[in-house]
Structure 1
Amino acid sequence: MNSPILITGASRRVGLELAISLAQAGHTIVSASRSISPHSAHPNIVQFQADLQQEEDRLALIEHLTSNYDGLRAIIHNASLWLDDGLENLNTMFKLHVEAPYHLNLALGEQLAKLEKSDIIHICDETSSRGSKSHIAYAATKAALQNMVLSFAEKYAPAIRVNAILPGLLILKENSDEEYRRRTLKKALLEFEPGAQPLIEAVSYLLNTQYSTGSSVVINGGRHLKKGVTRD
Protein backbone atom coordinates (compact mmCIF):
# COMPACT_ATOMS: atom_id res chain seq x y z
CA MET A 1 0.00 0.00 0.00
CA ASN A 2 1.24 3.47 -0.91
CA SER A 3 0.96 5.06 2.54
CA PRO A 4 3.44 7.80 3.46
CA ILE A 5 4.36 9.46 6.73
CA LEU A 6 3.37 13.12 6.89
CA ILE A 7 5.86 15.27 8.81
CA THR A 8 5.15 18.95 9.34
CA GLY A 9 7.96 21.45 9.78
CA ALA A 10 10.54 19.12 8.26
CA SER A 11 12.60 21.60 6.22
CA ARG A 12 15.26 22.34 8.84
CA ARG A 13 16.94 21.31 12.09
CA VAL A 14 15.45 18.32 13.94
CA GLY A 15 12.49 17.92 11.59
CA LEU A 16 14.76 17.69 8.56
CA GLU A 17 17.00 15.11 10.19
CA LEU A 18 13.95 13.08 11.22
CA ALA A 19 12.56 13.14 7.67
CA ILE A 20 15.88 12.04 6.18
CA SER A 21 16.30 9.25 8.75
CA LEU A 22 12.83 7.83 8.08
CA ALA A 23 13.32 8.16 4.33
CA GLN A 24 16.60 6.28 4.55
CA ALA A 25 14.76 3.56 6.49
CA GLY A 26 12.48 3.07 3.48
CA HIS A 27 9.44 5.18 4.35
CA THR A 28 7.85 7.56 1.89
CA ILE A 29 7.79 10.99 3.53
CA VAL A 30 5.54 13.94 2.71
CA SER A 31 7.29 16.96 4.17
CA ALA A 32 4.88 19.88 4.69
CA SER A 33 6.66 23.15 5.43
CA ARG A 34 6.49 26.84 4.59
CA SER A 35 9.62 26.60 2.47
CA ILE A 36 11.18 24.04 0.16
CA SER A 37 14.54 22.82 1.45
CA PRO A 38 17.38 21.86 -0.91
CA HIS A 39 18.66 19.64 1.90
CA SER A 40 15.55 17.45 1.63
CA ALA A 41 16.55 16.07 -1.77
CA HIS A 42 15.93 12.36 -1.22
CA PRO A 43 13.97 10.04 -3.55
CA ASN A 44 11.64 9.05 -0.68
CA ILE A 45 10.85 12.65 0.37
CA VAL A 46 8.05 14.59 -1.31
CA GLN A 47 8.09 18.26 -0.37
CA PHE A 48 4.75 20.06 -0.13
CA GLN A 49 4.94 23.80 0.44
CA ALA A 50 2.27 24.94 2.87
CA ASP A 51 1.84 27.55 5.59
CA LEU A 52 -0.05 25.42 8.09
CA GLN A 53 -1.38 28.49 9.88
CA GLN A 54 -3.60 29.02 6.84
CA GLU A 55 -6.71 26.88 6.42
CA GLU A 56 -6.54 26.99 2.61
CA ASP A 57 -3.00 25.59 2.67
CA ARG A 58 -4.08 22.80 5.00
CA LEU A 59 -6.99 21.97 2.72
CA ALA A 60 -4.61 21.78 -0.25
CA LEU A 61 -2.36 19.41 1.72
CA ILE A 62 -5.33 17.23 2.69
CA GLU A 63 -6.44 17.08 -0.95
CA HIS A 64 -2.93 16.10 -2.04
CA LEU A 65 -2.75 13.27 0.48
CA THR A 66 -6.22 11.88 -0.17
CA SER A 67 -5.88 12.08 -3.96
CA ASN A 68 -2.40 10.66 -4.38
CA TYR A 69 -2.04 7.97 -1.69
CA ASP A 70 -3.93 4.84 -0.67
CA GLY A 71 -3.63 5.59 3.03
CA LEU A 72 -1.44 7.26 5.62
CA ARG A 73 1.07 5.46 7.85
CA ALA A 74 1.54 8.32 10.31
CA ILE A 75 1.27 12.01 10.99
CA ILE A 76 4.10 13.62 12.93
CA HIS A 77 3.21 17.14 14.06
CA ASN A 78 6.65 18.71 14.30
CA ALA A 79 5.99 22.24 12.98
CA SER A 80 6.74 24.72 15.75
CA LEU A 81 7.47 28.36 16.48
CA TRP A 82 9.27 29.56 19.62
CA LEU A 83 8.14 33.18 19.90
CA ASP A 84 8.24 35.75 22.67
CA ASP A 85 5.12 36.38 24.73
CA GLY A 86 2.50 38.72 23.30
CA LEU A 87 -1.08 38.46 22.09
CA GLU A 88 -0.22 38.37 18.39
CA ASN A 89 2.43 35.69 18.93
CA LEU A 90 0.00 33.69 21.08
CA ASN A 91 -2.47 33.66 18.19
CA THR A 92 0.25 32.67 15.73
CA MET A 93 1.47 29.78 17.88
CA PHE A 94 -2.09 28.66 18.61
CA LYS A 95 -2.80 28.33 14.89
CA LEU A 96 0.36 26.28 14.32
CA HIS A 97 0.55 24.21 17.52
CA VAL A 98 -3.18 23.58 18.10
CA GLU A 99 -5.47 24.50 15.19
CA ALA A 100 -3.38 22.88 12.46
CA PRO A 101 -2.88 19.50 14.23
CA TYR A 102 -6.55 19.45 15.24
CA HIS A 103 -7.65 20.09 11.65
CA LEU A 104 -5.26 17.56 10.09
CA ASN A 105 -6.03 14.82 12.64
CA LEU A 106 -9.76 15.10 11.99
CA ALA A 107 -9.52 15.44 8.23
CA LEU A 108 -7.03 12.60 7.74
CA GLY A 109 -8.50 10.10 10.19
CA GLU A 110 -9.99 7.99 7.39
CA GLN A 111 -6.65 7.87 5.56
CA LEU A 112 -4.94 6.66 8.73
CA ALA A 113 -7.66 4.11 9.44
CA LYS A 114 -7.04 2.34 6.12
CA LEU A 115 -3.99 0.66 7.67
CA GLU A 116 -4.08 -2.06 10.30
CA LYS A 117 -1.84 0.12 12.48
CA SER A 118 -1.10 3.81 12.05
CA ASP A 119 0.20 6.55 14.29
CA ILE A 120 -0.21 10.19 15.16
CA ILE A 121 2.71 11.71 17.05
CA HIS A 122 2.55 15.18 18.58
CA ILE A 123 5.98 16.75 19.12
CA CYS A 124 5.28 18.87 22.19
CA ASP A 125 7.88 20.24 24.60
CA GLU A 126 9.03 19.51 28.11
CA THR A 127 7.62 22.93 29.12
CA SER A 128 4.14 21.74 28.11
CA SER A 129 3.93 19.80 31.37
CA ARG A 130 5.67 22.29 33.68
CA GLY A 131 5.14 25.77 32.19
CA SER A 132 7.67 28.49 31.43
CA LYS A 133 7.72 31.93 33.03
CA SER A 134 9.60 33.45 30.09
CA HIS A 135 7.60 31.75 27.30
CA ILE A 136 4.08 31.46 28.71
CA ALA A 137 2.27 31.44 25.35
CA TYR A 138 4.61 28.86 23.85
CA ALA A 139 4.25 26.50 26.81
CA ALA A 140 0.47 26.96 26.89
CA THR A 141 -0.03 26.12 23.22
CA LYS A 142 2.29 23.12 23.51
CA ALA A 143 0.27 22.01 26.56
CA ALA A 144 -2.89 22.13 24.44
CA LEU A 145 -1.11 20.02 21.81
CA GLN A 146 -0.19 17.50 24.50
CA ASN A 147 -3.75 17.45 25.86
CA MET A 148 -5.16 16.66 22.41
CA VAL A 149 -3.16 13.43 22.45
CA LEU A 150 -5.53 12.12 25.13
CA SER A 151 -8.67 13.00 23.21
CA PHE A 152 -7.53 11.71 19.84
CA ALA A 153 -6.12 8.54 21.38
CA GLU A 154 -9.55 7.73 22.76
CA LYS A 155 -11.35 8.79 19.60
CA TYR A 156 -9.21 6.73 17.21
CA ALA A 157 -8.41 3.59 19.24
CA PRO A 158 -7.56 0.85 18.59
CA ALA A 159 -6.18 1.09 15.05
CA ILE A 160 -4.67 4.58 15.28
CA ARG A 161 -2.21 5.10 18.13
CA VAL A 162 -1.79 8.70 19.31
CA ASN A 163 1.18 9.68 21.46
CA ALA A 164 3.35 12.66 22.34
CA ILE A 165 7.07 13.30 22.57
CA LEU A 166 8.26 15.96 25.01
CA PRO A 167 11.79 17.01 24.11
CA GLY A 168 14.01 19.36 26.00
CA LEU A 169 16.83 21.16 24.23
CA LEU A 170 18.20 19.02 21.41
CA ILE A 171 20.06 21.49 19.20
CA LEU A 172 21.34 24.84 20.43
CA LYS A 173 20.37 28.06 18.66
CA GLU A 174 22.48 28.94 15.64
CA ASN A 175 25.37 31.32 16.33
CA SER A 176 25.01 30.97 20.10
CA ASP A 177 27.96 32.19 22.16
CA GLU A 178 29.91 30.12 24.66
CA GLU A 179 28.18 31.62 27.70
CA TYR A 180 24.74 30.75 26.30
CA ARG A 181 25.90 27.21 25.53
CA ARG A 182 27.33 26.71 29.01
CA ARG A 183 24.30 28.15 30.82
CA THR A 184 21.80 26.24 28.69
CA LEU A 185 23.50 22.85 28.86
CA LYS A 186 23.77 23.06 32.65
CA LYS A 187 19.97 23.03 32.93
CA ALA A 188 19.97 19.26 32.38
CA LEU A 189 21.54 16.37 34.29
CA LEU A 190 23.07 15.20 31.01
CA GLU A 191 25.08 18.30 30.10
CA PHE A 192 25.63 17.89 26.37
CA GLU A 193 23.92 18.82 23.10
CA PRO A 194 22.37 15.55 21.88
CA GLY A 195 21.24 16.60 18.41
CA ALA A 196 18.27 15.03 16.67
CA GLN A 197 19.02 11.40 17.54
CA PRO A 198 16.91 11.20 20.76
CA LEU A 199 13.85 12.39 18.83
CA ILE A 200 14.54 9.99 15.95
CA GLU A 201 14.81 7.12 18.45
CA ALA A 202 11.58 8.13 20.22
CA VAL A 203 9.69 8.36 16.93
CA SER A 204 11.02 4.96 15.87
CA TYR A 205 9.87 3.46 19.17
CA LEU A 206 6.36 4.86 18.81
CA LEU A 207 6.04 3.76 15.19
CA ASN A 208 6.98 0.22 16.15
CA THR A 209 5.41 -0.31 19.56
CA GLN A 210 2.10 -2.17 19.74
CA TYR A 211 0.95 -1.17 23.21
CA SER A 212 1.22 2.59 23.64
CA THR A 213 -1.46 5.20 23.04
CA GLY A 214 -2.34 8.38 24.90
CA SER A 215 1.18 8.47 26.35
CA SER A 216 4.06 10.94 26.46
CA VAL A 217 7.73 10.13 25.97
CA VAL A 218 10.03 12.64 27.70
CA ILE A 219 13.51 13.21 26.26
CA ASN A 220 15.00 16.11 28.22
CA GLY A 221 18.26 14.80 29.68
CA GLY A 222 16.85 14.84 33.21
CA ARG A 223 16.17 18.55 33.12
CA HIS A 224 13.15 18.17 35.40
CA LEU A 225 15.44 16.78 38.14
CA LYS A 226 18.18 19.40 38.01
CA LYS A 227 18.31 21.33 41.27
CA GLY A 228 19.61 24.83 41.79
CA VAL A 229 19.29 25.92 38.15
CA THR A 230 17.07 28.82 37.10
CA ARG A 231 14.08 27.60 35.07
CA ASP A 232 13.12 29.45 31.93
Structure 2
Amino acid sequence: MQDLEGRNALVTGSATGLGRSIAVKLAARGANVILNYTRSRTEAEEAADLCRAAGVQVQVVKASVADADGGRALADAAARWGHLDMLVNNAGITRHARDHSDLDALSKDDFLDVYAVNVVGAFLVLQATKPLLVAAYKATGRASSVLNTSSIAGVKGVGSSVAYAASKGALNTMTLSLARALAPAIRVNAICPGFIGTRWFKDALDEAGFAEKERSVQALTPLGVASGPDDIADTALFFLSDASRHVTGELLLVDAGMHLGKPRA
Protein backbone atom coordinates (compact mmCIF):
# COMPACT_ATOMS: atom_id res chain seq x y z
CA MET A 1 0.00 0.00 0.00
CA GLN A 2 1.66 3.20 -1.22
CA ASP A 3 -1.01 5.61 0.03
CA LEU A 4 1.60 8.11 1.29
CA GLU A 5 3.61 8.21 -1.93
CA GLY A 6 5.07 11.63 -2.63
CA ARG A 7 4.51 12.94 0.88
CA ASN A 8 7.35 14.10 3.12
CA ALA A 9 7.79 13.19 6.76
CA LEU A 10 10.13 14.18 9.58
CA VAL A 11 10.51 11.84 12.55
CA THR A 12 12.62 13.09 15.46
CA GLY A 13 14.46 10.59 17.61
CA SER A 14 14.23 7.98 14.88
CA ALA A 15 17.51 6.08 15.06
CA THR A 16 16.08 3.39 17.32
CA GLY A 17 12.91 2.18 18.98
CA LEU A 18 9.50 3.60 18.21
CA GLY A 19 10.85 6.43 16.05
CA ARG A 20 12.66 3.98 13.79
CA SER A 21 9.57 1.80 13.46
CA ILE A 22 7.42 4.79 12.51
CA ALA A 23 9.97 5.98 9.93
CA VAL A 24 10.33 2.56 8.33
CA LYS A 25 6.56 2.09 8.15
CA LEU A 26 6.15 5.55 6.59
CA ALA A 27 8.74 4.67 3.97
CA ALA A 28 7.02 1.36 3.24
CA ARG A 29 3.88 3.33 2.45
CA GLY A 30 5.73 5.61 0.04
CA ALA A 31 6.68 8.64 2.14
CA ASN A 32 10.05 10.35 1.91
CA VAL A 33 11.57 10.44 5.39
CA ILE A 34 13.93 12.63 7.40
CA LEU A 35 15.53 10.67 10.22
CA ASN A 36 16.96 12.45 13.23
CA TYR A 37 19.44 11.47 15.93
CA THR A 38 21.73 13.05 18.51
CA ARG A 39 24.21 10.27 19.36
CA SER A 40 23.19 7.04 17.62
CA ARG A 41 24.74 7.67 14.19
CA THR A 42 25.29 4.00 13.32
CA GLU A 43 21.73 3.09 14.22
CA ALA A 44 20.40 6.10 12.30
CA GLU A 45 22.22 5.03 9.15
CA GLU A 46 20.88 1.51 9.57
CA ALA A 47 17.36 2.92 9.86
CA ALA A 48 17.99 5.03 6.77
CA ASP A 49 19.00 1.94 4.80
CA LEU A 50 15.75 0.24 5.81
CA CYS A 51 13.80 3.25 4.55
CA ARG A 52 15.77 3.49 1.29
CA ALA A 53 14.97 -0.15 0.61
CA ALA A 54 11.38 1.00 0.05
CA GLY A 55 12.56 3.23 -2.82
CA VAL A 56 11.94 6.58 -1.12
CA GLN A 57 14.12 9.62 -0.55
CA VAL A 58 15.83 9.70 2.85
CA GLN A 59 17.78 12.32 4.77
CA VAL A 60 19.62 11.79 8.06
CA VAL A 61 20.12 14.82 10.29
CA LYS A 62 22.07 15.02 13.52
CA ALA A 63 20.38 17.66 15.66
CA SER A 64 19.22 18.22 19.21
CA VAL A 65 15.57 19.21 19.34
CA ALA A 66 16.23 20.94 22.65
CA ASP A 67 17.65 24.06 21.03
CA ALA A 68 16.43 26.32 18.26
CA ASP A 69 19.41 25.58 16.03
CA GLY A 70 18.44 21.91 16.00
CA GLY A 71 14.90 22.72 15.00
CA ARG A 72 16.13 24.97 12.21
CA ALA A 73 18.51 22.28 10.94
CA LEU A 74 15.62 19.85 10.66
CA ALA A 75 13.46 22.45 8.94
CA ASP A 76 16.29 23.20 6.49
CA ALA A 77 16.39 19.52 5.55
CA ALA A 78 12.63 19.47 4.96
CA ALA A 79 12.87 22.69 2.93
CA ARG A 80 14.96 20.85 0.33
CA TRP A 81 11.75 19.03 -0.58
CA GLY A 82 9.67 22.23 -0.60
CA HIS A 83 7.05 21.18 1.92
CA LEU A 84 6.40 18.86 4.86
CA ASP A 85 3.27 16.73 5.16
CA MET A 86 3.97 14.94 8.44
CA LEU A 87 5.92 15.71 11.61
CA VAL A 88 6.41 13.16 14.37
CA ASN A 89 7.77 14.68 17.58
CA ASN A 90 9.15 11.44 18.95
CA ALA A 91 12.44 12.46 20.57
CA GLY A 92 12.27 12.04 24.33
CA ILE A 93 14.40 11.49 27.42
CA THR A 94 13.86 10.67 31.07
CA ARG A 95 15.64 10.65 34.41
CA HIS A 96 15.02 7.38 36.23
CA ALA A 97 13.60 7.88 39.72
CA ARG A 98 10.78 5.34 39.98
CA ASP A 99 10.11 5.99 43.67
CA HIS A 100 8.01 9.10 43.17
CA SER A 101 8.00 9.76 46.92
CA ASP A 102 11.77 10.27 46.93
CA LEU A 103 11.83 13.95 46.09
CA ASP A 104 15.60 14.10 46.54
CA ALA A 105 16.07 11.74 43.59
CA LEU A 106 15.51 14.57 41.11
CA SER A 107 17.20 17.94 40.79
CA LYS A 108 16.14 21.16 39.16
CA ASP A 109 18.49 20.35 36.27
CA ASP A 110 16.83 16.94 35.85
CA PHE A 111 13.48 18.66 35.34
CA LEU A 112 14.90 21.26 33.00
CA ASP A 113 16.71 18.65 30.88
CA VAL A 114 13.61 16.47 30.53
CA TYR A 115 11.35 19.41 29.71
CA ALA A 116 13.89 20.81 27.24
CA VAL A 117 13.55 17.71 25.04
CA ASN A 118 10.07 16.38 25.76
CA VAL A 119 8.14 19.66 25.72
CA VAL A 120 10.24 22.56 24.48
CA GLY A 121 11.87 20.39 21.81
CA ALA A 122 8.52 19.41 20.32
CA PHE A 123 7.52 23.06 20.25
CA LEU A 124 10.78 24.25 18.66
CA VAL A 125 10.63 21.68 15.86
CA LEU A 126 7.02 22.55 15.10
CA GLN A 127 7.84 26.25 15.25
CA ALA A 128 10.64 25.80 12.71
CA THR A 129 8.66 23.55 10.35
CA LYS A 130 5.26 25.25 10.54
CA PRO A 131 5.73 27.19 7.24
CA LEU A 132 6.52 23.93 5.45
CA LEU A 133 3.51 22.18 6.98
CA VAL A 134 1.29 25.07 5.93
CA ALA A 135 2.81 24.99 2.44
CA ALA A 136 1.76 21.35 2.08
CA TYR A 137 -1.79 22.25 3.11
CA LYS A 138 -1.95 25.11 0.62
CA ALA A 139 -0.67 22.88 -2.18
CA THR A 140 -3.03 19.98 -1.53
CA GLY A 141 -5.96 21.22 0.53
CA ARG A 142 -5.18 18.39 2.93
CA ALA A 143 -4.30 19.23 6.52
CA SER A 144 -0.75 18.34 7.44
CA SER A 145 -0.35 16.00 10.40
CA VAL A 146 1.69 16.50 13.57
CA LEU A 147 1.91 13.56 15.94
CA ASN A 148 3.43 13.90 19.40
CA THR A 149 4.74 10.82 21.19
CA SER A 150 3.46 11.17 24.72
CA SER A 151 2.98 8.45 27.33
CA ILE A 152 0.55 6.86 29.74
CA ALA A 153 2.77 8.60 32.30
CA GLY A 154 1.29 11.95 31.24
CA VAL A 155 -2.25 10.66 31.86
CA LYS A 156 -1.82 8.54 34.99
CA GLY A 157 1.16 10.22 36.67
CA VAL A 158 3.18 7.01 36.64
CA GLY A 159 6.45 5.92 35.05
CA SER A 160 10.18 6.42 35.24
CA SER A 161 10.06 9.67 37.24
CA VAL A 162 7.88 12.56 38.32
CA ALA A 163 9.79 14.77 35.88
CA TYR A 164 9.01 12.47 32.97
CA ALA A 165 5.31 12.15 33.86
CA ALA A 166 4.98 15.91 34.28
CA SER A 167 6.66 16.57 30.94
CA LYS A 168 4.30 14.24 29.12
CA GLY A 169 1.32 15.84 30.81
CA ALA A 170 2.57 19.19 29.53
CA LEU A 171 3.01 17.73 26.06
CA ASN A 172 -0.59 16.53 26.14
CA THR A 173 -1.84 20.00 27.04
CA MET A 174 0.31 21.55 24.32
CA THR A 175 -1.17 19.09 21.84
CA LEU A 176 -4.67 20.35 22.64
CA SER A 177 -3.65 24.00 22.48
CA LEU A 178 -1.91 23.66 19.13
CA ALA A 179 -4.63 21.49 17.60
CA ARG A 180 -7.03 24.36 18.18
CA ALA A 181 -4.61 27.11 17.16
CA LEU A 182 -3.20 25.57 13.97
CA ALA A 183 -6.40 24.27 12.38
CA PRO A 184 -7.42 23.92 9.63
CA ALA A 185 -3.95 23.76 8.04
CA ILE A 186 -2.40 21.40 10.58
CA ARG A 187 -3.84 18.54 12.61
CA VAL A 188 -2.13 17.87 15.97
CA ASN A 189 -2.61 14.63 17.90
CA ALA A 190 -0.72 12.54 20.44
CA ILE A 191 -0.33 8.87 21.19
CA CYS A 192 0.20 7.82 24.80
CA PRO A 193 1.89 4.41 24.86
CA GLY A 194 2.30 2.28 27.95
CA PHE A 195 5.20 -0.15 28.05
CA ILE A 196 7.20 -0.49 24.84
CA GLY A 197 9.95 -3.11 24.66
CA THR A 198 12.73 -0.84 23.36
CA ARG A 199 16.32 0.00 24.24
CA TRP A 200 14.91 2.54 26.71
CA PHE A 201 14.02 -0.30 29.10
CA LYS A 202 16.81 -2.62 28.02
CA ASP A 203 19.43 -0.02 28.90
CA ALA A 204 17.94 0.44 32.38
CA LEU A 205 17.61 -3.29 33.12
CA ASP A 206 19.74 -6.37 32.64
CA GLU A 207 18.49 -9.22 30.44
CA ALA A 208 16.77 -11.03 33.30
CA GLY A 209 15.26 -7.80 34.57
CA PHE A 210 13.89 -6.93 31.14
CA ALA A 211 12.31 -10.38 30.77
CA GLU A 212 10.70 -10.00 34.18
CA LYS A 213 9.44 -6.56 33.22
CA GLU A 214 7.76 -7.99 30.11
CA ARG A 215 6.12 -10.72 32.20
CA SER A 216 4.82 -8.22 34.73
CA VAL A 217 3.41 -6.02 31.96
CA GLN A 218 1.63 -8.98 30.40
CA ALA A 219 0.07 -9.76 33.77
CA LEU A 220 -1.06 -6.16 34.26
CA THR A 221 -2.66 -5.51 30.86
CA PRO A 222 -6.16 -6.76 30.01
CA LEU A 223 -4.93 -7.81 26.56
CA GLY A 224 -2.13 -9.85 28.15
CA VAL A 225 0.63 -8.51 25.91
CA ALA A 226 3.82 -6.46 26.18
CA SER A 227 3.88 -4.07 23.24
CA GLY A 228 6.83 -3.65 20.90
CA PRO A 229 7.71 -0.65 18.73
CA ASP A 230 5.89 -1.97 15.66
CA ASP A 231 2.67 -2.38 17.63
CA ILE A 232 2.64 1.29 18.60
CA ALA A 233 3.91 2.46 15.19
CA ASP A 234 0.87 0.94 13.50
CA THR A 235 -1.35 3.27 15.53
CA ALA A 236 0.94 6.20 14.74
CA LEU A 237 0.41 5.56 11.04
CA PHE A 238 -3.34 5.97 11.54
CA PHE A 239 -2.79 9.54 12.75
CA LEU A 240 -0.37 10.30 9.93
CA SER A 241 -2.56 8.94 7.15
CA ASP A 242 -5.82 10.08 5.60
CA ALA A 243 -7.65 7.55 7.76
CA SER A 244 -7.57 10.19 10.53
CA ARG A 245 -8.22 13.21 8.29
CA HIS A 246 -11.08 14.36 10.53
CA VAL A 247 -9.18 13.83 13.80
CA THR A 248 -7.32 16.56 15.67
CA GLY A 249 -6.69 17.30 19.34
CA GLU A 250 -6.87 13.61 20.24
CA LEU A 251 -4.80 11.95 23.00
CA LEU A 252 -4.96 8.21 22.43
CA LEU A 253 -3.79 5.66 24.98
CA VAL A 254 -2.05 2.79 23.20
CA ASP A 255 -1.22 0.58 26.17
CA ALA A 256 -3.00 -2.78 25.74
CA GLY A 257 -5.48 -1.58 28.36
CA MET A 258 -2.88 -0.93 31.09
CA HIS A 259 -4.75 2.21 32.19
CA LEU A 260 -7.75 0.06 33.13
CA GLY A 261 -5.84 -1.69 35.87
CA LYS A 262 -5.00 -5.31 36.56
CA PRO A 263 -7.40 -7.81 34.94
CA ARG A 264 -9.62 -9.81 37.23
CA ALA A 265 -8.50 -13.34 37.96
* Fold in common (TM above 0.5): yes
Query: What is the percent sequence identity of the aligned residues?
Result: 24
1:218 corresponds to: 253
Is 1:55 the counterpart of 2:68 in the alignment? yes
**Is this contact kept in 1: 2:83–2:132, CA < 8 A?**
yes
C-alpha separation in 1, matches of 2:122 and 2:232? 19
Q: 2:46 aligns with which of 39, 43, 47?
A: 39
Farther off after superposition, 149-158 or 201-210: 201-210
**Is this contact kept in 2: 1:165–1:218, CA < 8 A?**
yes
Structure 2 alignment gaps of length 5 or more: 98-105
Q: 1:24: how far off?
A: 1.4
| Letter aligned with residue 162 of structure 1 | V
Q: 1:190: how far off?
A: 1.9
Q: 1:57: how far off?
A: 2.3
**Is this contact kept in 2: 1:3–1:70, CA < 8 A?**
no
What root-mean-square deviation, in Å, do the aligned CA atoms of Structure 1 and Structure 2 show?
Answer: 2.1
Farther off after superposition, 154-163 or 131-140: 131-140
Is 1:201 the counterpart of 2:234 in the alignment? yes
2:84 corresponds to: 72
C-alpha separation in 2, matches of 1:127 and 1:38? 30
Q: 1:98: how far off?
A: 0.8
The C-alpha deviation readout for 1:99-156, integer Å capped at 9, x for no partner, is 1111122222111011222101011001101102751100000111111111111111
**What TM-score do the two structures reach when normalised by structure 1?**
0.90
Is 1:8 the counterpart of 2:12 in the alignment? yes
| Letter aligned with residue 21 of structure 1 | K
C-alpha separation in 2, matches of 1:128 and 1:152? 17
Cα separation, partners in 2 of 1:64 and 1:220, compared to 1, 3 Å:
same
**Is this contact kept in 2: 1:8–1:31, CA < 8 A?**
yes
Cα separation, partners in 2 of 1:62 and 1:133, compared to 1, 3 Å:
closer
Where 2:252 maps in the other structure, the secondary structure is strand
Q: 1:155 aligns with which of 181, 193, 209?
A: 181
**Following superposition of structure 1 onto structure 2, how do residues 109-128 of structure 1 map, counting pairs within 5 Å?**
109-115=130-136, 116=141, 117-128=143-154
| Letter aligned with residue 207 of structure 2 | S
The C-alpha deviation readout for 1:166-220, integer Å capped at 9, x for no partner, is 1111215324314333223322112222312332221221122221111112111
> How many residues are aligned here?
228
**Is this contact kept in 2: 1:11–1:31, CA < 8 A?**
yes
Farther off after superposition, 37-46 or 136-145: 37-46
Q: 1:3: how far off?
A: 4.8
**Is this contact kept in 2: 1:202–1:217, CA < 8 A?**
no
**Following superposition of structure 1 onto structure 2, how do residues 80-229 of structure 1 map, counting pairs within 5 Å?**
80-85=92-97, 86-87=106-107, 88-115=109-136, 116=141, 117-132=143-158, 135-171=161-197, 173-174=201-202, 175-177=206-208, 178-207=211-240, 208=242, 209-227=244-262
Cα separation, partners in 2 of 1:220 and 1:3, compared to 1, 3 Å:
same
Cα separation, partners in 2 of 1:191 and 1:38, compared to 1, 3 Å:
same
**Is this contact kept in 2: 1:125–1:165, CA < 8 A?**
yes
C-alpha separation in 2, matches of 1:100 and 1:133? 20
Where 2:220 maps in the other structure, the secondary structure is coil
**Is this contact kept in 2: 1:77–1:101, CA < 8 A?**
yes
| Letter aligned with residue 191 of structure 1 | G
| Superposition misfits of 4+ residues, deviation over 3 angstroms | none
Cα separation, partners in 2 of 1:69 and 1:134, compared to 1, 3 Å:
closer
